[in-house]
Structures are given as structure tokens and as C-alpha cells.
Copies of this chain bind each other. A is one copy, B any other.
Amino acid sequence: MGITIKQIAELCGVSIGTVDRALNDRPGISEKTKRRILEVAREHQYRPDLTARSLARGRTMTIGVVLFDLYNRSFAQLANAIERRSRERGYIVHLTLTGKDPEMEKNCLRQLVQRKADGIILCSVNEGARFEEELRGLLTPIVTVCNRISDRWPYVGIDDRGAMKEAVGQLLRKGYRRFVYVCPPLADRGRVNIHTQEQRWIGFREALEDGADAVSGGQGKFETAVIAQRDYLDALRRLDLAAGTGKTAIVCSCDAYALEVMHDCRSRGLRVPEDVGIMGFDNIDMLKYVSPRLSTVHYDMEEFGTRAADSLIAWIERGEAPSVPSLAYRWIEGESV
């Protein structure tokens, strides 16, 4: 199935070395024989066997991608962009999904290394010194995305902390003084990589600290509650949002939560933003179908993808880990706060 250089060599009455020179237009071959060889190759629809080439060259022109899943719209866009850019640059993508299972993630990585992927783009759930040791042992360029691991591996993403800080600053400016922060469980720290969520959480606190100084000269803090658990809606319902003075802003660390929260609040008869303010983070594109429009933080997932691919390829081809600057983000003024 498919003709090989050896067969071409026989057909042309030359050696495989010569065929190789012709096919990969390497120097040291006469125009005449080259033309003849190319002609024969074309006639027989010669297509080099890339697995053989990989073995010989020691490079597979393959990029391994490790993500949680593609349910999340953002991950889908990310994968899309990575594939696009990679193939533009001559690489093909091995997609592997972990389902956020630490062991599965290790399997994926191992698998990719065994298949000799030239580099890997990783959104990790694993974390910790031991995991880093394992990563180092893979001896493969790795670029992290969405979840930073450590300075040793380039990270593509925004400054989540700064972004959240700015966003909450907007709420303060609008006059909000009571806050509920809703996010996924942060307790797994150390076992599971929640770098991004953690940064946002820090950004939230910093914004309030700075705000407290500015607003009341360091006097009275703001009223805040934190909900960081799976059944966040239940927890939220137990809170009396109307108690006290002033309107509450529910700061959600991601749009997915914000949408659920908004839905739930409204089903309880709370008007948004009249009775309660809600903000999200991520600007997932589902938002365009939702009213009132959610106020949120936007960043470009596609850019994450192309940047991650570019950085990884730079590393692969230049041999040294590149440093990647934080990408841009911006506050989206909706109608929900």
C-alpha cells in the first residue's frame, strides 16, 4: 500500500540515497535525474511514510494536547485554536482529555511521551513537587495553559488576580458594599491545581482591602461571604441577601456559576440588578443569549491557543523555553450589576 523510496529507486535505476535527495530537495543531484525521480514519484502518488520518518529523524512533528474536556466552551475554542495554529506550522495534534482525573492526566502525558510528541500543551489538574518531578522526567517541552504549575514551565494566560481586582473595583465604584464571592472549592489546594481560581480569589480580597482603605480610610470593612463548594446554589439560598443595608453583589469566579446563580435568583423572585447584582468571569459566548447581559471579564481563549502553540513550537525548534507575557483582558460592562 503506497510506494516506497526503495521501489522508486528500483524503478528509476538509482539508489535510495539519490531518491531521498530528489524528494527532499537536498543538494548534490543533477537536475535531470531529480526530474525523473520526481516524475515517477508523482505518477505513483508517492507519500512518505511519516512514522518511518519520525523514527529516523527523531522528531514526530506532533504536539500533544492535554485538557480536561471539551464540554466547556472555552476549552473547545482553545483546542480549536491550538489545532489550527499547530497545523499551520506543520505539526499535527494529539488530543487527550483527562476529565480532571489526576491519574488520567498522568496517563495522557505518559502516552504522549511514548508516542514521542515533540512537545505538550497542558492544562493540568495535578500539582505539587512530586508531580513537577514527574514532568521534568518526561524530558519534553511543556507549555501550561489555564492552570500555571511553576516558573519552570511557560504559562499562557491572563493576570487573573489583576483582572478580578479590577472587576471588583468596578463594583465598588458602583457603590456596592456587600459581597458574596462564589467559586469552586478551593480546599483542594496542594493536591489539585486550582491556580487560576486561587488567583481570582486573591484578586477579590485585594480589591476589597484596597477599597476599604480608599472608601472609609481603613475604617469599617465590607460585609462579605464566601461560598466555595459544589452545592453553591443551596448555600446561596441560605443567605439572606436582603438583610442589612445596601445591595449585595454576587461575585462569581466564572460565568458558568454566574448564569446558574442568576437563574436561581430570578426564580426566587429577585430582580437583577435591581435587587441583587451579579458578575461573572470568562465572557463565555453563551452570554449573548442571556438577558440581562452579564457583566464579566473578557479574554481571548483563541489567543491562548495560538500563543501556547507558538510558544511550544518556539521551544521545540529553538531548544529553549520561551517566556510568555500575560495576555490582555478587559471588563465587560453588562446590565447585571
Contact = CB atoms under 8 A, between A and B. Distances in A.
Interface of A: 1-2, 45, 47-52, 54-55, 60, 65, 69-71, 73, 75-77, 79-80, 83-84, 87, 92-97, 99, 108, 110-116, 137, 139, 259, 263, 286, 289-290
Contacts of A47: 110, 113-114
Contacts of A97: 80, 83-84, 87
Contacts of A84: 97, 99
Given A92-B94, A139-B1, A289-B290, A114 B48 contact: yes
A185 to B, nearest CB: 24
A51 B116 contact: yes
Contacts of A139: 1-2
B83 A51 contact: no
21 contacts: A45-B137, A47-B110, A47-B114, A48-B114, A51-B54, A52-B55, A70-B77, A70-B79, A71-B77, A73-B76, A75-B76, A76-B79, A79-B79, A83-B97, A92-B94, A92-B96, A92-B112, A93-B94, A93-B95, A263-B289, A286-B286
A96 B51 CA distance: 17
Contacts of A80: 69-71, 97
A50 B114 contact: yes
Given A79-B79, A93-B95, 15 more contacts: A45-B137, A47-B110, A50-B114, A65-B95, A69-B80, A70-B70, A76-B76, A84-B97, A84-B99, A87-B97, A92-B96, A92-B115, A93-B94, A95-B95, A286-B286
A295 B95 CA distance: 34
A87 to B, nearest CB: 7
Nearest to A83: B97
Contact of A49 (B65, B71, B110, B116): B116
Contacts of A116: 49-51
In the complex, the 7 A-B pairs of residues with the closest C-beta atoms, listed nearest first: A76-B76, A70-B76, A95-B95, A70-B80, A50-B115, A50-B114, A51-B54
Contacts of A45: 137
B95 A51 contact: no
B96 A96 contact: no
Contacts of A115: 50-51, 92
A84 B99 CA distance: 9
Contacts of A79: 70, 76, 79, 95
A84 B48 CA distance: 30
Contact of A87 (B65, B96, B286): B96
A118 to B, nearest CB: 11
Contacts of A55: 49, 51-52, 55
A271 B289 CA distance: 17
Contacts of A113: 47
